Amino acid sequence: LPEQEAFDIEYWLLEEAKLARMPRPKSLAGRVALVTGGAGGIGAATAERFLREGACVMLADIDEAALATAHDGLARSFGADVVRAVQMNVTDEAQVATAYAQMAVEFGGIDILVSNAGIASSAPVEETTLALWNRNMDILSTGYFLVSREAFRTFRAQDIGGSVIFVASKNGLAASPNASAYCTAKAAEIHLARCLALEGAEGGIRVNVVNPDAVLRGSRIWEGEWLDQRASTYGTDKGGLEEMYRQRSLLKRSVLPEDIAEGAYFFASDLSAKSTGNILNVDAGNVQAFTR
Ligand code: NAD
């Protein structure tokens, strides 16, 4: 190489090495997120993902003890100034309004809502009581409506747009045995997201959905009644269920809370600036989506 060219290349390589060592600006720096169900598996993993990208996060959950544990763990890792917690039942209008008021005081507003708080229940339709049906509708459909309505009110008042992410379920698209109340409530969440995407677009409010397939590890849903009922529906234990879901996925991989968090991060960040009303199935290519 001519001397000048060799010098230029060396100079360029040194500059590149310097750039690679420079800290990248965090993609959610300066943004504030509310994560409902933040004490649970997917919610806590999502909060952690956002905190790693520089966001401030308010965890909201009905379970006070689990909320304190999740909050303290994240505060130890990221600092108490960037993570807060509020006890809130998503079906309680007044508690939802109070949580948003607390966010305004502590973080000065909100940019991202992850509506994720949820339950799962399983029963054949003839054994589904009205109480069980209503519980699913209340927490999943009505709860998602209440937290996103409050987000819309705040986004409109702030006038800077925002991102709403619903953690729904692939069961909101595909029927699952002995879970009509849960599947129907999850389908309503998905359709609510579409309606809100239509309403929010003009004000720069994006609304998208992440649909997990079964996430057994880290989820408290898979520790109680739902686990027993699914185990009896499919005639196997927790390990057998995880293997069943893994085997029936196209990619033959188990879905983890961190995988759902990655989807939520995509919709929270500017990577998805041109996506609204969309559904991302994080299901390792679940076989129910295909005819085969
Ligand atoms: P999880 O039980 O670990 O977390 C859910 C959290 O929601 C819990 O901390 C719980 O206390 C909270 N919660 C429940 N009712 C509430 C209420 N009324 N108000 C406020 N908080 C409430 O479960 P997860 O697996 O992390 O589930 C998160 C979301 O993902 C749920 O909406 C669930 O339906 C959905 N999902 C989960 C799976 C899965 O297999 N784990 C699959 C598809 C969809």
Specify the residue with its C-alpha closest to ligand 1, atom 44.
169
**Any bridge partners for residue 32, and if so which?**
56
Indicate if 182 belongs to the active site. yes
Contacts with 36 (C-beta within 8 Å, 6 or more apart), sequence order: 43, 60, 61, 88, 90, 113, 114, 115, 116, 117, 143, 147
Instruction: Give 5's pLDDT tier (boundaries 50, 70, 90).
Output: confident
Cα–ligand 1 centroid distance for 196 (angstroms): 22
90 close to ligand 1 (CB < 6 Angstrom) = yes
Mean pLDDT across the stretch 66-72?
Answer: 98
Whole-angstrom distance, CA of residue 195 vs CA of residue 197: 5
Query: Looking at the predicted structure, is the pLDDT value of residue 2 above 80?
Result: no
**Any bridge partners for residue 87, and if so which?**
61
ipTM of the complex model: 0.99
Cα–ligand 1 centroid distance for 41 (angstroms): 8
Determine which one of 182, 234, 245, 265 is catalytic. Answer: 182
- At 179-224, the pLDDT tens digits run 999 999 999 999 999 999 999 999 999 999 999 999 999 999 999 8
167 close to ligand 1 (CB < 6 Angstrom) = yes
Mean of per-residue pLDDT scores for the chain: 94
Mutate to test the pocket of ligand 1, among 215, 227, 242, 248 (most ligand atoms within 8 A of CB): 215
Q: What is the pLDDT of residue 289?
A: 66
52 close to ligand 1 (CB < 6 Angstrom) = no
Specify the residue with its C-alpha closest to ligand 1, atom 17.
89
Mean pLDDT across the stretch 223-236?
Answer: 91
Mean pLDDT across the stretch 57-61?
Answer: 98
Q: What is the pLDDT of residue 59?
A: 98
Cα–ligand 1 centroid distance for 168 (angstroms): 10
